[in-house]
Amino acid sequence: MSNTKYVFVTGGVTSSLGKGIIAASLAKLLQQRGFTVTIQKLDPYINIDPGTLNPYEHGECYVTDDGAETDLDLGHYERFLNIPTSQANNVTTGKIYQSVINKERKGVFLGKTVQVIPHITDEIKRRIQILGDTGDYDIVITEIGGTVGDIESLPYVESVRQMLWEKGEENAIVIHLTLIPYLAAAGELKTKPTQHSVKMLMQSGVSPNILVCRTEHEISDDIKRKLALFCNVKKEDVIQSIDAETIYDVPNLMLAEGLDEVVLKKFNLSSEQQPELKVWNEFLKKHKNPTSKVEIALIGKYIELQDSYKSITEAFIHAGSSNETKVKVRWIHSESLTVENIENKLKGVNGILVAPGFGDRGIDGKIKAVQFARENKIPFFGICLGMQMAVIEFSKNVLGLTDAFSTEMKKECKNPVINLMESQKEVTEKGGTMRLGAWDCNVSKNSKAYNAYQSEFISERHRHRYEFNNEYLEAIESAGLKATGVNPKTGLVEVVEIPTHPWFVGVQYHPEYKSTVLNPHPLFVDFIKAALKQSK
């Protein structure tokens, strides 16, 4: 048995309080004190993974190196901790039930009645301990999705209760993140909703060890005392989490509040060392004190919910800081772009990013945006579908293949410059069947990509079914769009560029997933650099 300590993070009162950011901030502080930490998210929905969810439902689908399609919180974990997550870091009710039902069909339960308790809760506990049992982590932080009181969270809360009992106080604790609303009319912060949500947890046999209180205003000592008294915690275990200017301030705010110290004390762990936040704070300083500014148009079809592009906007923040530049995003709905308005809508932008996506809604606008960037020599970055649209635009308007398209949108098109991958032709199921996760790519020297990466060998994460059709490679290259990144085994084109353009790069993969505070993604850094040059 490993000595891993477990921290459970639950949420009370409302959703969207930022459990993921609190978990990531605590993990960061513990990591910078020298502990090995990972974070896991348990999602109470019945989908096996968010891969089949429309981005409007839950925002972006994040992808790990080992090809898991996950909740966007895993992106925060990686951006904060700078270490990769994996399949084991995101568990859903769908996955839990799937394994229990598969076992039942195999007869593993030997004629017993299969029930939520113990079979579902045992499977939840097994999934929680998979990470701890690797022996790689001193501390595993498990974030329970949803809000305490939701029917679908009950088996998770029960599993937490059992684990607290099995592991003992020194090895497992609960942090309850809650909201302290401010009533302007009364001029008061209110503790009652928190009292109720803690009571609700207690009805399930779980008594939180630490309260983290989201608030718009400073919480006084009196309020802390009151919360402590009514919620069964010590006053020093009531931690304020005041609204921050940026999510990247939260580790410092939690440090000032002593969240990491309180946690270590509960575990009887000592650490002489204070968290080492030098590089983190250099990033923050540059982020908050930019010396210049660029504006980037983000062309996508899910822009009503900006969380759909979470990793891209965070990658802009990392790359902006590294260029000491403020990156302003101009959100443009691809469906809204027409020949008549495009000039107006894109006037003054210093760079254009055409976003990933699926299906044909808004496709024409994406193609027009590529053309605008290409013809007006504005830095262009195409990601996944954005890269495919760049290939189509170039084939149509430069190569003269007027009917060039992708078979995703036009099954019968005459010149399928983007085509379904051979390996996808037999695939009938939607979930988890794309080309997913990290694949190698060889980068040609003398390319913008090489210039950015400073390496000929890279590995990036993918999530797609369609690809550059190599039957057109020669024609497209001789017309001036070069394939500068290729999968060494399959020959699949991963990067395309126009060498005569100031910065025109399309990538079949998703570089945004690998951008972190400590390692801003080289292509984003270079794209912002090019935009900065354009702005001058």
Binding of residue 384 to ligand GLN (CB under 6 A): yes
Catalytic residues: 384, 510, 512
From the CB of 501, what's the least distance to ligand GLN, in Å? 22
Binding of residue 465 to ligand GLN (CB under 6 A): yes
Binding of residue 464 to ligand GLN (CB under 6 A): yes
Binding of residue 385 to ligand GLN (CB under 6 A): yes
CB-based contact 7:173 (threshold 8 Å): yes
| Region binding ligand GLN by CB under 6 A among candidate stretches 154-162, 166-174, 245-253, 460-468 | 460-468
From the CB of 368, what's the least distance to ligand GLN, in Å? 18
User: Count of residues binding ligand GLN (CB under 6 A)?
Assistant: 10
Binding ligand GLN (rule: CB under 6 A), the pick from 368, 374, 463, 501 is 463
Amino acid at 388: Q
From the CB of 357, what's the least distance to ligand GLN, in Å? 5
From the CB of 351, what's the least distance to ligand GLN, in Å? 19
Alpha-carbon distance values, 166 to 27, 125, 340 (Å): 23, 11, 67
CA-based max dimension of the chain: 75
Measured CA to CA, the distance from residue 120 to residue 113 in angstroms comes to 12
Measured CA to CA, the distance from residue 213 to residue 241 in angstroms comes to 5
**312 alpha-carbon distance from chain centroid:** 9
Measured CA to CA, the distance from residue 234 to residue 213 in angstroms comes to 14
CA atoms within 13 A on the CB side of 426: 1
Binding of residue 19 to ligand GLN (CB under 6 A): no
Judged by CB, which is closer to ligand GLN: 331, or 457? Answer: 331
Binding of residue 59 to ligand GLN (CB under 6 A): no
Binding of residue 410 to ligand GLN (CB under 6 A): no
CA atoms within 13 A on the CB side of 177: 27
Coil, helix or strand at residue 405: strand
Binding of residue 366 to ligand GLN (CB under 6 A): no
| Region binding ligand GLN by CB under 6 A among candidate stretches 132-140, 189-197, 447-455, 458-466 | 458-466
Binding of residue 408 to ligand GLN (CB under 6 A): yes
CB-based contact 59:72 (threshold 8 Å): yes
Six-digit token string for 219: 């919480």
From the CB of 358, what's the least distance to ligand GLN, in Å? 4
Binding of residue 356 to ligand GLN (CB under 6 A): yes
Residue ranges in contact with ligand GLN by CB under 6 A: 356-358, 384-385, 408, 463-466
